[in-house]
Amino acid sequence: MSDDEKQERQEDRALFKVMVGSIIGLAGVVAVLAIAAVVVVGKSETSSPSQAASAPVAQGTPVTVAMHDPGCHWFQVGPNSFQKAATVQGPVVLANNDEASLLVAGPSGTKTDPVGGKVSLAAGTYRITMVGQAPDDNHLKLVVN
C-alpha cells in the first residue's frame, strides 16, 4: 500500500469519525427536544379542565354546557373552569353552548337540547351526551337536588 493510499484511508477514517460524532450529537439534540415536548404536554394536560369531584353550583344559576377541548363538551362553571360532573340545587335550566344538540337522559326520559337552546330540569340524575358524539368525547353527569 502506497503512502497516498495510507493517507487517503486515514482521511476516510477521520471523516467517518466526524460523521458518527455528528449523528450521535444530533440524536442527543433530538432526545432533549423530545423530553422538552413531553414536559410541555404534561404541563398542558395538568392545566386541562378539571375532572375532579363535582362542585356545587348556586341555586337559580343556569347550568351551561360548552365546547372545550380536550373531550369536546364540559359543564362551564366559571370563565375558565370546566368539569365533567356537577351537582346543583334545582330546578335548573340547562343552556347548550356546544356545537351540536345535546341528549339529556333523566328520570322522565330523554330530552333534546338544541344548540343555543335551554331545557328545564327538575330533581334527578341526568346523563348528557352530544348528538353524533365521538366515542372518546366526554359523557356528562348532572345531579339536580
Domain range summary for the chain, segments of one domain joined by +: 1-47, 56-144
Can you name the residues that pair with 142 across neighbouring β-strands? Answer: 86, 126
Q: Print the SS3 string covering 10-54.
A: HHHHHHHHHHHHHHHHHHHHHHHHHHHHHHHHHHHHHCCCCCCCC
* Cα angle, residue 138 at apex, residues 131 and 112 outer, rounded to 5°: 30
Cβ-contact 63, 93 below 8 angstroms? yes
Q: Looking at residue 49, what is its pLDDT?
A: 47
Cβ-contact 144, 124 below 8 angstroms? yes
pTM beyond 0.75, yes or no: no
Backbone phi, psi, residue 135, to 5°: -60, -30
Q: How confident is the model at residue 134 (pLDDT cuts 50, 70, 90)?
A: confident
Rounded Cα distance, 37 and 78, in Å: 29
Q: Looking at residue 118, what is its pLDDT?
A: 92
Which pLDDT tens digit goes with each residue over 32-59? Answer: 566 656 555 554 444 444 444 444 544 4
Range 125-129 average pLDDT: 94
Average pLDDT, the chain: 78
Comparing 13-17, 51-55, 85-89, the range with the smallest average pLDDT is 51-55
Decide if domain 56-144 falls under CATH 3.30.1330.
Answer: no
Q: Which three cell numbers stand for residue 118?
A: 335551554
Q: Looking at residue 107, what is its pLDDT?
A: 94
Q: Looking at residue 33, what is its pLDDT?
A: 63
Backbone phi, psi, residue 80, to 5°: -135, 25
